[in-house]
Structure 1
Amino acid sequence: MDPKRELTSVDLAALVTELNRYEGAKVDKAYRYGDDLLRFRMRDFDRGRVELLLEVGEVKRAHVADPERVPDAPGRPPNFAMMLRNRLSGADFAGAEQFEFDRILVLDFERDDENTRIVVELFGQGNVAVLDESGEVVQSLETVRLKSRTVAPGSQYEFPASRLNPLTVGYEAFKRNMDDSDTDVVRTLATQLNLGGLYAEELCTRAGVEKTTPIEEAGDEEYRAIHHAIEELRTRLRAGDFDPRVYLDDGAVVDVTPFPLEEREREGLDSEAYDSFNDALDRYFYRLELEDDEPEDTGRQRPDFEAEIEKKQRIIDQQQGAIEDFEAQAEAERRRAELLYANYDLVDEVLSTVRDAREEGVGWDEIRETLAQGAERGIPEAEAVVDVDGAEGTVTIELDDTEVAVEVDTGVEKNADRLYTEAKRIEEKKEGALAAIEDTREELAAVKRRREEWEEDDAEETDDEEPDEREERDWLSMESIPIRQSDHWYERFRWFRTSDGFLVIGGRNADQNEEIVTKYLDQHDLFFHTQAHGGPVTIVKATGPSEPSEAVDFPERTKEEAAQFAVSYSSIWKEGRYAGEAYMVTPDQVSKTPESGEYIEKGSFVIRGDRTYFRDVEAEVAVGIQCEGETRVLGGPPSAIEDRVETSVRLQPGRYAQNDAAKMLYRKFKERFADQSFLRKVATADRIQEFLPPGGSEIVED
């Protein structure tokens, strides 16, 4: 399973609830790292230092981070960071909101001379726009000029077109939107109601509604159950009733959610609970960055284990320093509490004196002067007072060379309890840091183990005088399989290599069909298509695109496999049919020129002349994991795939949606491989899904 790299709309709704708890925090400084990461350092009276991170690149996130985990300040600040500092230094954080149910975070900051609004677009290419009080764009990370909207300095900021908000839609409107769909319940919730795939499935589960139920078979009972589940979700989001989870697959983070999800539990993922969603987001993205930084084995190029070990050790040293700081802070708070009890009478006298003066209407400045005069006369209680803060309602007393700030409106006991509570809170942060350092130590140990395994493999290869004559490897049982991958021009299309080694490519949509014919179909290639409408243009390449075109005598088996490929990835599969018909022609028979008075749709072509037909072609594919040579997922006709891969699964048209079938295959492969890390990197459910035909599938049992 690929890890989540972008916040969902539900995530953002939960985040906004928690961010508003920091209202009133004062901005100290802003930083920019690279092209897409911003950091706002703020001060909050209750929580101290607050670090807000916003990232809008490949990873799209927003959350408050532990100060120990924020990146070091960069060198010379870029212009964007300087602009933020000029506008926000000393400003108060006035609150956060989510634009409708979109992945757009709006942050407001107030200052006496000017207010600033920051719009964070956590979708598409990502963007951050800084607006003045009139809504005009002061500056943005990216300039956007589209027909529908413009985001550019000097223009009025325009939000994207409104979408239906599932959290506010009434039942009747909800029912109308559901009835307007022509697919099943879960897809309608995901697309028409804008809930996305994961939460659409989760709401179906919570409502007790079968997610694959066709809309025409769903009625008022199902609709009301789902709408009630949505209302419960809305209530929890607005109330901040969270129970955050970070989900892990074989120790690697894959998701973070504001509540436990039954869908994730069904997948057998491990989970970690956190006190706040911000904490969960911070921990998730911190670990995701560490895991992304882990070098992958490519060929026999030795990873830089020493640099990685040094980095992990540096992190451990930083975490150890944080733990020591937490211990010192907690001990200091406990000592202050104990000093209050040890000097109970003196502190009580100071508090009573100041409280009585306030009740009589005496101002804070006059109280400060009176205490200073008392200190000059040698009154012990007045001598102990070193500061009076009217704005905070506190008096700072020096006790045994230690300054203790006490709240005037409460007694000695409550002030001491407050300090003990703060000590306990710091101790809890220390426990979190201890857990973090254990994680890092495990990661360090894993790097060292990989270094040892690498060195052992090197030693074995050095001792082997005839490496090509080694016994065949049992890839499924190997604890560590090296990753060997290359990028190929054809991978964005559907593709496979025939049993005879010829490359076959097919279009995923009308645009790719058009591109394949106009750009990649050469005179000596073969063109395949199905009689059924809606199939991929399929060509068998005689030579590569950079090689001179040469006539080739294609084996019959290659033609049969290409025909099966064309049938299996066409509408024949989507319609649930187990066989279909394909035809083959040469490139000179394929034309974009229609007959007089006719029109050709994009991705369609005119075929002239005789065709060679392949009848009753079985709709069946195999998907497997290749380990020898390159390591990757492969999919296509079984006869072409099964001999190239270490393990495979056959499929035929069936009832499981494409994404569900991909997850089923991933779980099957997971049971077969000892090296789960290899599988997670090479064959995620998303990569498997790229090789599945459109429509439903079922596994062909052995």
Structure 2
Amino acid sequence: MDLTSLDITVLAAELSSIKDAKVEKIYHRGSDLVIKLYYKKTNLFIRVKAGSFICLTDYREKNEKPSNFAMLLRKYLNRSTLKEIKQLNHERIVDMVFEASNGRRYILVCELFSKGNLILCEASFNIIFALKRQTWSGRAVQKGKKYVLPPPAKDPFKVSRSEFESMFKDSGKSVVKFLASDLSLGGKYAEEICARANIDKNLMPSSITTKELNSVFKSFSEVLKIISSMKLKPNVVNGVPYPFEFLTADGNAKYFDTFNQAVDYAYLSTLEREVIKKKVKPISTKLNSLKRVLEEQQRAYEYNKQRAEKYKKIAELIYLYYDRIQSIVNSKDFNNPLVLKYDKKFSKIYLNLEGQEVKVDLTKTLNEVASDYFEFAKRFKSKAKGALAAMNETKRKIADLSSEEERVRSEIKPLAPVRKKWYEKFRWFMSSEGFLVVSGKDASTNELLIRKHLDDTDLVLHADIAGSPFTVVKDGKMASSRTIQEAAVFTASFSRAWRQGLASIDVYWVNPNQITKHAPSGEYIPRGAFMIYGKKNYLKNTPLELYICADGVFPYKKGKCVMIKPGYSDRKDLEKFVLKNIGAVELTGRIPSGGYAFKLIQ
């Protein structure tokens, strides 16, 4: 899975927020490097695949014994602090800057182009060691030498309209090849820009019009604007990750909150396909061989069956026309309309009997000729019977191998996540502004959420009713009223108010320092409950409503979805409606208990 420089731009931008994370462990196998980090009370894993990509990952292959390269990296980077992740000059190169406990800085250069490399350098870019030693005419990656960047490609973000036209005319290439190579956009972005411009991608500089060139540059600028603004809609189509929706992506898309997640999913899918291919290939090879044998047996069966039927029919036709044939033979009337041809040399005549050509040997009696044809029919019938038996045996073997293939596939377990994200044990969603919102499921998870995962920068919500979850908006003090309103709708919908059939309820939010487990003298606070002091900020008449979308359940609309409110229909009716209009969506634990009213929202 090779990514373009624009893909790397998006990945690096998303990763750039990870600062001051502690390095816990480093794993390495082949071209894969996985760095385990401790960041904001949770573990993160960054995967670097030299020559391909870098992304946050939820998966790590087992590695029984660390490689020499991993041991060297651990020596320098274990317990260090990750200070920065950045892309270099819009190239497929990412620098990871670490600071050791003694204050020394190290840079891990991740080359994600060609065959790739991983190079640990001092802050001055003197190379300490590299995964691979490499030498070119003007550049060497070797211990003790200074790391030198490859010759720079053109930065597409700095190309003006006039420069774009000049470069294209001088390139002598078609527009799609110019975009892909001269501007280092890669094939998928080049194809997308041409599709958005609605022009023939094979237009040459000599044949393109000014209007068409303006359209190409406009689409080129639009794509770069999406990337630079990070207004993304990450998805994977047919195993290919896209940071936003591509017109050229043909197939069903699976959407993600971040492009890092999309890339990780695409890579995981590739690994799973490789595992399946490795385990299933021997069986598939035998199956394909047997299917070819079955086709040959089918042809043999059909041929022998047809021959048997043909010769039997000829024998029957001889008896049906016995007298007329005998008369022709006796009188040597070879000009008779039934005679097609007389072969004097071999003493044979060829007759047309009801459209069937029949050969009669004049040296034999008609009974002998008919008997020969019956014998031929018998032989071919026997061969057809043998071919049919062989076919049935082959079909049995194919069925057995198909069952074996299914069994092997079923026993192949998906690559398990290293660890679930901490918030996955709660109810949660990402707000439309990108804030994580986490809500308790019951008294135990309410207690856990507030005690363990509440930070000073968060906000806490609760519905003004007994039986409400506590909801935490992570970094909520930076969120706008839009995210807070979405969190309020989520809180209200999962409160007891839904089961009571209420249309709305008041919800309030407070700061973390207003919540305590300390009860007034003589009072007891049960598990999952907390005392709240100070001002409560109310959101009056918060509606109870959720939206079931293709990628989950949210308190806001995301494209085509089913809106649900408290009502009288049961869960089965809702599930059927969702399946018919949205598709298969996992609803277990993701919608409130009770009755539902629902409708499709386009």
For the pair 1:37 / 2:32, whether they are aligned, the reply is yes
Residue of structure 1 equivalent to 2:145: 155
The letter for the 2-side match of 1:55 is K
- For 1:94 and 1:20, the matched residues in 2 are separated by 9
- For 2:418 and 2:30, the matched residues in 1 are separated by 26
The letter for the 2-side match of 1:270 is N
1:310 to 401, 405, 411: 411
The letter for the 2-side match of 1:173 is E
Q: Deviations over 1:10-37 (max 9, x none)?
A: 21111111111222322222111x2211
- For 2:530 and 2:169, the matched residues in 1 are separated by 63
The letter for the 2-side match of 1:40 is I
Q: Deviations over 1:161-204 (max 9, x none)?
A: 11112222122222211110223222222222222222112112
2:212 to 222, 238, 242: 222
**Aligned CA distance change for structure 1 residues 29 and 307 (closer, same or farther; 3 Å):** same
Q: Deviations over 1:452-477 (max 9, x none)?
A: xxxxxxxxxxxxxxxxxxxxxxxxxx
Conservation of the 8 A alpha-carbon contact between 2:108 and 2:121: yes
Q: Deviations over 1:633-687 (max 9, x none)?
A: xxxxxxxxxxxxxxxxxxxxxxxxxxxxxxxxxxxxxxxxxxxxxxxxxxxxxxx
**Aligned CA distance change for structure 1 residues 404 and 13 (closer, same or farther; 3 Å):** farther
Residue of structure 2 equivalent to 1:50: 44
Q: Secondary structure at the match of 1:76?
A: coil
Q: Secondary structure at the match of 2:53?
A: strand
**Aligned CA distance change for structure 1 residues 311 and 176 (closer, same or farther; 3 Å):** same
1:286 to 259, 268, 271: 268
**Aligned CA distance change for structure 1 residues 154 and 412 (closer, same or farther; 3 Å):** farther
Q: Secondary structure at the match of 1:120?
A: strand
- For 2:244 and 2:73, the matched residues in 1 are separated by 34
- For 1:44 and 1:405, the matched residues in 2 are separated by 28
Equivalent residue runs for 1:292-691 within 5 Å: 292-294=274-276, 295-296=280-281, 297-300=284-287, 306=407, 308-312=409-413, 325-326=425-426, 330-331=440-441, 332-335=444-447, 397=517
- For 2:126 and 2:529, the matched residues in 1 are separated by 47
**Aligned CA distance change for structure 1 residues 405 and 310 (closer, same or farther; 3 Å):** farther
**Superposition deviation, residue 90 in structure 1:** 2.9
- For 2:201 and 2:16, the matched residues in 1 are separated by 35
Q: Secondary structure at the match of 1:263?
A: coil
Residue of structure 2 equivalent to 1:140: 130
- For 2:421 and 2:56, the matched residues in 1 are separated by 21
**Aligned CA distance change for structure 1 residues 146 and 270 (closer, same or farther; 3 Å):** same
Conservation of the 8 A alpha-carbon contact between 1:29 and 1:85: yes
Q: Deviations over 1:117-150 (max 9, x none)?
A: 1111112112111111110111111110111211
Residue of structure 2 equivalent to 1:263: 248
The letter for the 2-side match of 1:114 is R
- For 1:114 and 1:105, the matched residues in 2 are separated by 20
Conservation of the 8 A alpha-carbon contact between 2:99 and 2:106: yes
Conservation of the 8 A alpha-carbon contact between 2:440 and 2:449: no
Q: Secondary structure at the match of 1:282?
A: helix
Q: Secondary structure at the match of 2:248?
A: helix
Conservation of the 8 A alpha-carbon contact between 1:115 and 1:133: yes
**Superposition deviation, residue 241 in structure 1:** 1.1
**Superposition deviation, residue 102 in structure 1:** 2.4
Residue of structure 1 equivalent to 2:116: 126
Residue of structure 1 equivalent to 2:471: none
**Aligned CA distance change for structure 1 residues 310 and 234 (closer, same or farther; 3 Å):** same
1:77 to 66, 85, 89: 66
**Aligned CA distance change for structure 1 residues 431 and 93 (closer, same or farther; 3 Å):** farther
Residue of structure 2 equivalent to 1:28: 24
- For 2:270 and 2:140, the matched residues in 1 are separated by 33
- For 2:60 and 2:97, the matched residues in 1 are separated by 22
Residue of structure 1 equivalent to 2:4: 8
Conservation of the 8 A alpha-carbon contact between 2:234 and 2:258: yes
Q: Secondary structure at the match of 1:63?
A: strand
The letter for the 1-side match of 2:55 is H
Residue of structure 1 equivalent to 2:83: 94
**Aligned CA distance change for structure 1 residues 230 and 315 (closer, same or farther; 3 Å):** closer
- For 1:318 and 1:88, the matched residues in 2 are separated by 21
Sequence identity percentage: 23
The letter for the 2-side match of 1:15 is L
- For 1:25 and 1:208, the matched residues in 2 are separated by 45
**Aligned CA distance change for structure 1 residues 35 and 316 (closer, same or farther; 3 Å):** closer
Conservation of the 8 A alpha-carbon contact between 1:174 and 1:227: yes
Residue of structure 1 equivalent to 2:163: 173
Conservation of the 8 A alpha-carbon contact between 2:56 and 2:260: yes
**Aligned CA distance change for structure 1 residues 179 and 317 (closer, same or farther; 3 Å):** closer
**Aligned CA distance change for structure 1 residues 405 and 315 (closer, same or farther; 3 Å):** farther
Structure 1: where are the runs of 5+ without partners? 345-391, 418-423, 433-702
TM-score, normalising length: structure 2? 0.51
**Superposition deviation, residue 156 in structure 1:** 0.7
Q: CA RMSD in A?
A: 4.1
- For 1:393 and 1:133, the matched residues in 2 are separated by 41
**Aligned CA distance change for structure 1 residues 324 and 183 (closer, same or farther; 3 Å):** closer
**Superposition deviation, residue 232 in structure 1:** 2.3
Residue of structure 1 equivalent to 2:53: 61
Residue of structure 2 equivalent to 1:273: 255
Residue of structure 2 equivalent to 1:692: none
- For 1:321 and 1:235, the matched residues in 2 are separated by 32
Q: Secondary structure at the match of 1:190?
A: helix
**Aligned CA distance change for structure 1 residues 146 and 326 (closer, same or farther; 3 Å):** same
Q: Deviations over 1:407-448 (max 9, x none)?
A: x9x96858x99xxxxxx9xxx99989xxxxxxxxxxxxxxxx
- For 1:411 and 1:51, the matched residues in 2 are separated by 40
**Aligned CA distance change for structure 1 residues 337 and 104 (closer, same or farther; 3 Å):** closer
Q: Secondary structure at the match of 1:124?
A: coil
- For 1:84 and 1:217, the matched residues in 2 are separated by 54
Conservation of the 8 A alpha-carbon contact between 1:177 and 1:193: no
**Aligned CA distance change for structure 1 residues 65 and 25 (closer, same or farther; 3 Å):** same
- For 1:310 and 1:395, the matched residues in 2 are separated by 48
- For 1:36 and 1:271, the matched residues in 2 are separated by 28
1:106 to 76, 89, 95: 95
**Aligned CA distance change for structure 1 residues 320 and 27 (closer, same or farther; 3 Å):** closer
Conservation of the 8 A alpha-carbon contact between 1:326 and 1:430: no
Q: Secondary structure at the match of 2:176?
A: helix
Conservation of the 8 A alpha-carbon contact between 1:37 and 1:54: yes
Larger radius of gyration: 2
- For 1:141 and 1:207, the matched residues in 2 are separated by 42
**Aligned CA distance change for structure 1 residues 141 and 171 (closer, same or farther; 3 Å):** same
**Aligned CA distance change for structure 1 residues 317 and 149 (closer, same or farther; 3 Å):** closer
**Superposition deviation, residue 239 in structure 1:** 2.2
**Superposition deviation, residue 64 in structure 1:** 0.4
- For 1:191 and 1:18, the matched residues in 2 are separated by 25
Q: Secondary structure at the match of 1:216?
A: coil
- For 1:10 and 1:16, the matched residues in 2 are separated by 10
**Superposition deviation, residue 321 in structure 1:** 12
